[in-house]
Structure 1
Amino acid sequence: MRSRITALFVVLAAVGALVGFPAAAAADPVDLIADPDPFYAAPADVADAANGDVLDSRRVPTSAYPGTDVWQVKFRSTDSADDPIAAVTTVLMPQGRGAGTPLVSYQAIVNALGTKCAPSHGLFSDELIEAPAVYLGMVARGWAVAVPDYLGPTAAYGAARMAGQITLDGVRAVKQFEQLPLRDSPVGLLGYSGGGLATSFAAALAPTYAPDLDIAGIAEGGIPSDLAQIAQNLAYSPLPHPGFGMAMAVALGLEREYPGRFPITPNLNDRGIALRNKMFNECRRSILIDGAFNSARDLSTAASLADTPSAQQVLRENSVTFFDGVPTAPLFVWQGVNDFIAPYQPVADMVDRYCRSGADVVFRGYPAAEHFSATVLGLPEAYLWLDARLRGEPAPSDC
């Protein structure tokens, strides 16, 4: 496992890019492959449960994380249409720790459209490339770490507001889960890139969506905070972009979550349909490799879907830069100034708005860093900052 930790900082995939595809002939949609494991299915009475209520649980026997007890907890949450869903979080609990063990919800970097690629699977394969850092940087520190499947039961990549809701409900579920002594534990949230987007939405939603949660601190970095701007950068760059597969994947994820409002499939040409069908149920490698060096201009024949009112509204609803909520928990935010995936300025503007609204924020903008190197520069300080909050130290602020 240790040999994989370098891959965390080298292979981190671009997350949070969006694209709108122009129109061509419609095509029959590819069916999403639901997870065949019945554990993931929503019970018939899921609507009767409250957000964060535990619906089911199971112990996971594994040797992947020595000295750690691993549980998976299914809980009730809410999707983007405010309908009830069942979601899952995987909890890594250091053996020998008891009541008061800090609980950190880590939102992983999930570059995927397939249900098979969720963290609850990827933690036990090579899909979740930062798994060594989860273990060595967090569990070995003495934290209980919950890793939610924040894309939900349909792997709705890009649905950031739902991701924030699932994140918060996952914390609620773990705190009330009777098999673990975490009810009174201090809580922290942590995420980078796509995980940073889920974390940032959880931070902004928490005061209204989960006011019952007392969150000690939230560390978020590499945030793709303005999805419309990222769509333009990745989908319509002068030359075909190496990260285009992630852009298309997020667009397809939004189509799943917002049927009729973000209609990708009817607006693709034959080449676009072929690429869509190839990646529709796939994980990181397929999306990165098959999608690389494409352009929206080559996959369609008409004007940009991203310019249509419904698509623009979907992008805005899932861009934390434009979300009115202001976190009340202390924040540590880091971003590369030269980030070519998740631009720096919208994050700086978000931090400025938070500061003017009274939030406590430490902001690190790394002048020479882009999306990948910013991870290396910011994550060690994020660990130290979050550890201090979990120990009850007063939060500093740059505001």
Structure 2
Amino acid sequence: MKLRTLLTTVAAGAALAVPTVAVVPPASGAPAGCTASDADIYAAPGAVSGAPGELLACRPTTLPGVPHGIRMKAWKVRYASTDVKGARIAVSGFVAVPEAPWTKGGSRPVVAFNPGTSGSGPQCALSKQMSGQYVDHYEGPNLAEFLKAGFAVAATDGVGYLDGQVHTYMVGANAGHALLDVARTSRRIPGGDLRADGKVGIAGYSEGGAASLWGAQLAASYAPELNVAGAAAGGVPGDLKITAKALNGGLFAGFLADALVGLNAAYPEMPFDELMNDAGRKAIQDVRNNCLFGTLAAFLGARVENFSKDRLTLEQIYALRGPDGTTWGEIVDRQKLGVDIGTPSSSAKYKIGFPVFQYRGLLEEIIPHETEEATRAAYCAAGITTRWTAAYPAEHLTTDWLAAGDVTRFLGDRFEGKPAQGNC
């Protein structure tokens, strides 16, 4: 999709009202069968005591948003995960398994997948969009590539897509935990045939690319039993401060609006609502009420200074402190990728023992090149086998599709145990 086409689509984006469904969530514990209703899957969160990756509810579904008529079995899932503060939470997503048998040896591998930006309200969840409830998404062709290759797909919606929630957009630990946990969940579906010894690949682009690298960084400590073979991450906003500066006042300021509201959802103790003027309060509702294209349309050219009573700049917001003295700037810096990473033999906080594929488009116009290059450089400096390309002849969105074949081949080679070659 060329930039002009994307902007035309954005201009036509329309808001969707957030549905309110008051349903008591199912009790923690693996269900006897996949008999949950849609309302059960997306019910407002309650207390969750299950272990990370525990299947809380599931239901068979179809995925008309995935093209090419691939024969598959699919389920919507609600599962247990862990938020950035260590609390147990419920997350939604879906699992899809091709009906064609896996013939390449060993157990069928699964790709843990985090989508690119969907929008922040519950109506924008990828599992809803791929099952046909609303179409404002673009990931169907990429999912089809994985399924055609014979891989199962375990796709997380991400944290914050249950009824009454808002997505915690760009919160690294939330994204990484939810992504790893949906891979765990994929093996626990009653009647499913995915095995615990199957290899796992991690993949995502843009927001999903950041989630993919967070999954890669957290895998060894959070989900050491998963046999992660490789991770692919494209269009990665590795440094949110650099990305926010570029987005503010620009054509894609809606992504910045999503991030501000998402960070507030994850850190509600920090100053936020009380800072807003009337335009700011409306902006928060616009984020909640719109999915991707509607949000971009609503915030076209918007500047963050116009939404607070004191016309706070990004730098002034970063300086604000919460009740324990932590600043917004410190919280934003915690989401930076490539910090304290290393190989399994290192003393790094985040140990990565598998190859990583990172990429961007030659004409990337949304994520600053400097932060994508810096994330790649950090992985190389840490000694992690890293494959990098910036040669796709496309802007941000189209690169997601152009790279799909390479991502699938990269993960396929890892599943088959082929040695990876980095190009640091």
Normalised by the length of structure 1, the TM-score is 0.84
Distance 2:151 2:2 in 1: 23
Task: Return the letter of the residue paired with 2:179.
Answer: T
Equivalent residue for 2:79, pick from 62, 66, 75: 75
User: What are the equivalent positions in structure 2 for 1:1-399 lying under 5 Å apart?
Assistant: 11=6, 33=20, 37-41=39-43, 46-47=48-49, 49-61=50-62, 66=69, 67-97=71-101, 100-125=107-132, 126-127=134-135, 129-152=137-160, 153=162, 154=165, 155-183=167-195, 184-235=197-248, 240-261=249-270, 263-300=271-308, 301-304=310-313, 305-308=317-320, 310-322=327-339, 324=341, 325-336=350-361, 339-366=364-391, 370-399=395-424
Gaps of 5+ in 1: 1-5, 14-30
Distance 2:75 2:48 in 1: 21
Gaps of 5+ in 2: 9-17, 24-38, 322-326, 342-349
Q: CA deviation at 1:139?
A: 1.4
Distance 1:71 1:213 in 2: 21
Note closer, same or farther for the CA distance 1:241–1:42 as it changes in structure 2 (3 Å cut): closer
Which residue of the partner structure matches residue 30 of structure 2? none
Note closer, same or farther for the CA distance 1:331–1:120 as it changes in structure 2 (3 Å cut): same
Does the aligned pair in 2 maintain the 1:165–1:209 contact within 8 Å? Answer: yes
Aligned residues: 372
Task: Return the letter of the residue paired with 1:73.
Answer: V
Does the aligned pair in 1 maintain the 2:239–2:337 contact within 8 Å? Answer: yes
Distance 2:97 2:3 in 1: 22
Distance 1:333 1:395 in 2: 13
Residue 80 of structure 1 aligns to a residue whose secondary structure is coil
Greater RCO, 1 or 2 (C-alpha within 8 Å, sep 6+)? 1
Distance 2:359 2:48 in 1: 37
Distance 1:134 1:363 in 2: 19
Does the aligned pair in 1 maintain the 2:41–2:92 contact within 8 Å? Answer: no
Normalised by the length of structure 2, the TM-score is 0.79
Q: Structure 1 residues 32-41 or 73-82, which shifts more? A: 32-41
Does the aligned pair in 2 maintain the 1:35–1:115 contact within 8 Å? Answer: no
Distance 1:212 1:338 in 2: 39
Does the aligned pair in 1 maintain the 2:243–2:371 contact within 8 Å? Answer: no
Distance 2:149 2:3 in 1: 18
Does the aligned pair in 2 maintain the 1:150–1:164 contact within 8 Å? Answer: no
1:228-281: per-residue Cα shift (whole Å, max 9, x none)?
11111212xxxx3111122112101111110122x3322222222223223323
Task: Return the letter of the residue paired with 1:115.
Answer: P
Residue 187 of structure 2 aligns to a residue whose secondary structure is helix
Q: CA deviation at 1:363?
A: 1.2
Note closer, same or farther for the CA distance 1:352–1:293 as it changes in structure 2 (3 Å cut): closer
Does the aligned pair in 1 maintain the 2:64–2:131 contact within 8 Å? Answer: no
Distance 1:241 1:43 in 2: 35
Does the aligned pair in 2 maintain the 1:188–1:215 contact within 8 Å? Answer: yes
Q: Superposition RMSD on alpha carbons, in Å?
A: 3.0
Note closer, same or farther for the CA distance 1:11–1:172 as it changes in structure 2 (3 Å cut): farther
Which residue of the partner structure matches residue 27 of structure 1? none
Which residue of the partner structure matches residue 17 of structure 1? none
Task: Return the letter of the residue paired with 2:331.
Answer: V
Q: CA deviation at 1:290?
A: 1.0
Q: CA deviation at 1:43?
A: 7.8
Task: Return the letter of the residue paired with 2:422.
Answer: S
Q: CA deviation at 1:338?
A: 5.4
Q: CA deviation at 1:38?
A: 2.5
Q: CA deviation at 1:40?
A: 2.9
Task: Return the letter of the residue paired with 2:328.
Answer: A
Distance 1:90 1:290 in 2: 29
Does the aligned pair in 1 maintain the 2:114–2:158 contact within 8 Å? Answer: yes
1:159-193: per-residue Cα shift (whole Å, max 9, x none)?
22201110001111113334222113221111100
